[in-house]
Amino acid sequence: MERSRVNLLIPGPTPLPPEVREAMSTAMVDHRGAEFGRILRDVLAGVAQIFQTTSPVLMFAASGTGGLEAAVVNVLSPGDRVLALSCGMFGDRFASVARAFGAEVIVEEAPWGCGIDPQQVTEALRRHARVRAVLVTHNETSTGVTNDLRGIAEAVRGSGALLLVDAVSSLGAIDLRADAWGLDVVVTGSQKALMGPPGGVFISVSPNAWEASKVARMPRHYFSFAMARDQLASEAAYTPFTPAIPVISALAVSIPMILREGLPARFAHHRRLAEMTRTGVQALGLELFAQARWASETVTAVRVPAGIDGKELRARLREQFGVAVAGGQGALDGRIFRIGHMGYVQEAQIVEALAALERVLAELGHRRSPVSSR
Q: Which stretch, 57-65, 176-184, 204-212, 365-373, contacts ligand PLP (CB under 6 A)?
A: 57-65
The CA R_g of the chain, rounded to the nearest whole Å, is 21
Residue number with CB closer to ligand PLP (299 or 313): 299
Output the smallest distance, CB 91 to ligand PLP, in A: 8
Backbone angles phi, psi at 310, to 5 degrees: -60, -35
Output the smallest distance, CB 63 to ligand PLP, in A: 3
Residues 6 or more apart whose Cβ sits within 8 Å of residue 371: none
From CA 126, how far away is CA 150, in angstroms rounded?
19
CA-closest candidate to residue 38, choices 271, 313, 232, 279: 232
> If binding is defined by CB under 6 A, does position 65 make contact with ligand PLP?
yes
Number of residues located near ligand PLP, criterion CB under 6 A: 12
Q: Return the residue nearest ligand PLP (CB atom).
A: 64
Q: In which element (H, E) is residue 73 found?
A: helix 64-75
Residue number with CB closer to ligand PLP (256 or 330): 330
Residue number with CB closer to ligand PLP (96 or 122): 96
From CA 65, how far away is CA 89, in angstroms rounded?
12
Q: Which of 17, 32, 55, 63 binds ligand PLP (CB under 6 A)?
A: 63
> If binding is defined by CB under 6 A, does position 298 make contact with ligand PLP?
no
Q: Which of 36, 51, 60, 90 binds ligand PLP (CB under 6 A)?
A: 90
Residue number with CB closer to ligand PLP (52 or 137): 137
Residues 2-21, interacting with ligand PLP (CB under 6 A): 12
* Residue 112, Cβ density class (10 Å: 0-12 exposed, 13-18 middle, ≥19 buried): buried
Tell me how far the alpha carbon of residue 355 is from its chain's centroid.
Answer: 27
- The SS3 assignment for 20 reads helix
Residue number with CB closer to ligand PLP (58 or 168): 168
| x-marked contacts with ligand PLP along 207-226 as a string, rule CB under 6 A | --------------------
Q: Which of 113, 118, 189, 305 binds ligand PLP (CB under 6 A)?
A: 189
Q: What distances in angstroms separate CA 138 from CA 125, 291, 358, one per listed residue?
A: 19, 16, 31
Residue number with CB closer to ligand PLP (36 or 298): 298
Q: Which stretch, 19-27, 38-46, 133-141, 301-309, contacts ligand PLP (CB under 6 A)?
A: 133-141
Q: Which stretch, 59-67, 77-85, 121-129, 266-274, contacts ligand PLP (CB under 6 A)?
A: 59-67
Specify whether the CB–CB gap between 232 and 203 falls below 8 A.
no
Specify whether the CB–CB gap between 183 and 155 falls below 8 A.
no
Pairing outcome for strands 326-327 and 336-340: antiparallel
From CA 9, how far away is CA 280, in angstroms rounded?
15
Specify whether the CB–CB gap between 84 and 95 falls below 8 A.
yes
Taken in order 9, 290, 175, 204, the sign of the CA dihedral is negative
Residues 156-175, interacting with ligand PLP (CB under 6 A): 166, 168-169
> If binding is defined by CB under 6 A, does position 239 make contact with ligand PLP?
no
Residue number with CB closer to ligand PLP (70 or 356): 70
Residues that bind ligand PLP (CB under 6 A): 12, 63-65, 90, 137, 139, 141, 166, 168-169, 189
